[in-house]
Chains A and B, each alone.
Chain A
């Protein structure tokens, strides 16, 4: 058969109010899936481990309560209204917009050919979607998804996944949406699933408010419910209830194909599958790693300038420029040049979040390019008192620089230090607070909160692209990092559906918000609790490593980095005592 690539047939408008048909997987899609019901999903070992660690009571935490289904799961649920938006003059189709009832999910599919955002742009629940016609059918590609799930019983889908959907309007009154998601982190091959709808002219899509409440009181700060490895009490409940073999309900690509029928338990699939082309476009930090500077507005007067080694954050306004971190050695001039594309105003302040060279390496050039405001006796006594921006950091940053065998030139030091109280500024019309985070990534970490712009620069207590580096030798600790992440969550206020609002810029990676910090906090708390549990049982470091306590997150950040994290957490807990901190789900029973 020789079919034209995309036959010349009329595009089929998908607008309408569509009633979801739950004629497949009703028990999963409406009441919800059972625990450890993973069959039919091409999950890898790491995804399965995360699923088994998942405790449903995590949904009662305030920061989890109002999360909507992400784009790749939402089409399985809820009625939907879809409408077209046309350019007022040209009448060209600009976008399809949709609203689902549950959690009031609104989504946009851009049809005007605009490009996807750069890698360090924020990720959202619905991601960034563009559509194109293939004949009469609509193909939609979505990137920039937040961490989500492939089944809402704890099976994860990472923020590096890409989604392709096809919208088929079959006849006049049926709509089939095929979604194909590829996640290089947690899936061994693309996952395909479908949803069917019937046009219903009388259907209403009602409002869906969601108020966060304290569902459980008395929880310790930072409590993250989870099951320790091997301690999930429900592991075989579902299999037993339905008389299914455990190897089937534990899922994996092998269970998706007919060759699984009657095969040996645990047998490898005999289906010769095609190696998927992995989604790579949405990997945060890709552009920065290539060496180019990426300038992105965050919000208010704050910008991210992502460099090859780390992020710098710049606040711009009538008073001048405030810079948080200056990239690595040799990066200062390029950073100044990037700032000059935003404004000609003088650089007044350079704030260092900690003393590591990938964050202060450009201090010399950036400070030298700036001007501080000097007056009174100082200006009269010191001829160059206003030359150079003012450098700000916690006292321990200076102590660290002093201790180096080959410290940077003194002119590169952030000499305006603070000790106990936060350093407060009022600059460019907003309060700016530099707040020390004790014993976190190092002993001298600070976060910088732009209160008017509602942006926090975190330095290296948070990242979207790697495990934290805990500099135990220089005062860092796992508990300090987790405390710092919980402090970020206390400050941040999401705008709606636990998304947006306060924007958070990590030391490495993309622009984030509270939900991204929650993922990171949950991960580190779970890993910390696992290692602490093993230490309490008398495990040596090598024995702890052998238990692979970072197994389920290593595809995100790397197994070697996971091993280094285990070493640091072990050393940190051994130094500070393994009995501090939160509880596991078992502890609370």
Chain B
């Protein structure tokens, strides 16, 4: 970067900072919660009208229909063996969690943090509106950075532990990055949101794996039924 360009960038950043401070000084809140163009708070239930056979029940070994696995992914999927009982927590990581049949509870944990909890699998995701997040150790739900993209909530998640895209061991690697867009809608008296999930995994996928999942808003937590997932022996 030339010295002139550098000065322009510094000047622009300073102007932006001053504008933000001025807005706060004038009493206009500048936190994510106040700027939110959509309302996701509440309890929602997933609507399983698609991929039923791969979401509502554990599919057969080797049934990875619709998933663009490469040869390494197919080989890894073939190593899965069914186990009775609760599904493995490996299938409840951020790349796959929203495909689970479940209820989710979404709330603002603070003015710049959204929290998403699930009844099935008892998972918690944290979406931080922080453009410069600190490094995080790999985890099942990873590190999620949120922004608003037009009227959508955009969430980018990395720092993931390896896991499964489906309960029958269809794999994703620790190099996976997930980009999600949450959009709300209303029709026929139903309030809902649809999350478009783009899973990028250079290890096991030929191309990005794109799904979209819809939830209806429900009035209360009467059907909230927490059920655990089975922790893998080691990870």
Contact = CB atoms under 8 A, between A and B. Distances in A.
Interface of A: 1-4, 6-7, 9-10, 12, 21-27, 39-41, 134-137, 139, 162, 164, 166, 168, 170-171, 174, 176, 178, 180, 182, 190-196, 198, 242, 244, 248, 255-261, 270-279
Contacts of B181: 168, 170-171, 174, 176
Interface stretch (B122-130, B131-139, B182-190): B182-190
Interface in B108-147: 108, 120
B40 interface: yes
A131 B147 CA distance: 27
A258 B102 contact: yes
A3 B36 contact: yes
B189, B190, B213: residue with the most chain A Cβ atoms closer than 10 Å: B190
Given A9-B37, A168-B194, A134 B151 contact: yes
Contacts, number: 181
B183 A180 contact: no
Given A12-B150, A23-B210, A196-B210, A2 B52 contact: no
Interface string B181-219: 101010111101010101000000000011111101011
B149 interface: yes
A561 B32 CA distance: 58
A166 B185 contact: yes
Given A22-B66, A258-B48, A176 B188 contact: no
Contacts of B51: 24-25
Nearest to A38: B52
Nearest to B103: A258
Contacts of B194: 166, 168, 176, 178, 194
B84 interface: no
Contacts of A4: 37
B85 interface: no
A162 B51 CA distance: 24
A163 to B, nearest CB: 9
A239 to B, nearest CB: 11
B160 to A, nearest CB: 19
A276 B188 contact: yes
Q: 7 closest A-B pairs (Cβ-Cβ)?
A: A258-B101, A136-B150, A164-B187, A194-B212, A26-B66, A40-B52, A170-B181
A177 B168 CA distance: 28
A40 B189 contact: no
Interface string B16-43: 0000000000000000010011111100
A404 B134 CA distance: 92
Given A4-B37, A22-B66, A258 B45 contact: yes
Contacts of B212: 24, 176, 178, 194-196
Given A178-B212, A257-B48, A271-B45, A276 B190 contact: yes
B57 interface: yes
A9 B183 CA distance: 14
Contacts of B150: 9-10, 12, 135-137
Contact of B53 (A21, A192, A242): A242
A97 B147 CA distance: 32
B11 interface: no
Contacts of B36: 1, 3
A40 B196 contact: no
Contacts of B48: 40, 255-258
A190 B194 CA distance: 15
B41 A1 contact: yes
Given A3-B36, A134-B151, A258 B190 contact: no
B62 interface: no
A196 B211 contact: yes
B223 interface: yes
Contacts of A23: 66-68, 209-211
Contacts of A12: 150
B56 interface: yes
Contacts of A166: 183, 185, 194
B187 A190 contact: yes
B196 A174 contact: yes
Contacts of B100: 258
B10 interface: no
B46 interface: yes
Contacts of A193: 49-50, 214
B83 interface: no
B47 interface: yes
Interface in B82-110: 100-103, 108
B3 interface: no
Contacts of A260: 56, 101
Given A1-B40, A137-B183, A190-B188, 13 more contacts: A1-B41, A3-B38, A7-B151, A166-B194, A168-B181, A170-B181, A170-B183, A176-B196, A194-B212, A194-B214, A274-B189, A276-B188, A276-B189
Contacts of B222: 270, 272
Nearest to A134: B151
Contact of A3 (B39, B65, B102, B220): B39
Contacts of A136: 150-151
A182, A258, A261: residue with the most chain B Cβ atoms closer than 10 Å: A258
A27 B53 CA distance: 11
Nearest to A12: B150
Contact of A170 (B41, B149, B188): B149
A180 B190 contact: yes
Contact of A255 (B33, B46, B52): B52
Contacts of A22: 66
Contact of A1 (B108, B151, B210): B108
A2 B49 contact: no
Contacts of B151: 6-7, 9, 134-137
B76 interface: no
